[in-house]
Amino acid sequence: MEKENTTTIKGEILLGIIFALELYALPVQFYLLLKGSEFTFFSAAVRFFSFFTILTNSIVFICSAMLLFGGKSRINFFFRKCTTLTAITVYILIVGMVFNLLLRHIIELKGHHLIVSEIFHTVVPVLFFFFWLFFVSPERISFKVIFFWLVYPILYIIYTLFHGITTNFYPYPFIDATKLGFKTALVNGLFVLIAFVVLSVILISISKIRTKML
């Protein structure tokens, strides 16, 4: 019992760190976007949430807040489910992998921009993965749920492509239909979806193995 309580406390501490990091990084990133630009508050908000990084880190922020402060509400029960936490882990790991593998070498950031970028793309993905791996009770998750998990990234890609057509703004160069062409951008989006599937299979398999070990 004492070991279980200690584990719970450690998990809450880790969640608290993630929550604090997001509580700092998300508002600062929005301020940096709004500062010195011609955006109205509304247009800045649209641009802000047009980034998969921001959307996913916002989900992590909401999830950590609910787990820490949500009590026994129904929505908190949803966020405590292993299936939900595994899906969020997949999403935030994709954020980190795409940035560090495809974007880091072409983006130069300094000051607060660099700090929040590292929080979004490296620190939070690693910490949330550790939380999932060490403090989330594993379950036997069916591989079929991957189809439901893909709804979020698929909707995001559709939104990004059609939003880009009307505004000529694409948040990531590998999906920039203006420079690459719509077909190439769509193919690149499909490759990202394949990465989602592969990572989902890996994490679900880990969860299944951990379940057998209990």
Q: Specify whether the CB–CB gap between 117 and 28 falls below 8 A.
A: no
Q: Specify whether the CB–CB gap between 95 and 120 falls below 8 A.
A: yes
52-75 tens-digit pLDDT = 999 999 999 999 999 999 877 777
- Give the other-Cβ count within 10 Å of 39's Cβ: 15
**Hey, CA dihedral for 175, 181, 182, 185, is it positive or negative?**
negative
95: containing domain: 2-213
Banded pLDDT at 4 (limits 50, 70, 90): very low
Q: Please tell me whether residue 151 adopts helix, strand or coil conformation.
A: helix
Best CA proximity match to 151, nearest among 197, 116, 99? 197
Backbone angles phi, psi at 175, to 5 degrees: -125, 20
The tally of domains found in the chain comes to 1
| Rounded distance between C-alpha atoms, residue 202 and residue 96, angstroms | 16
Residue 27, both tokens: 């508002």
70-124 tens-digit pLDDT = 877 777 888 999 999 999 999 999 999 999 999 999 988 999 999 999 999 999 9
| Rounded distance between C-alpha atoms, residue 214 and residue 211, angstroms | 5
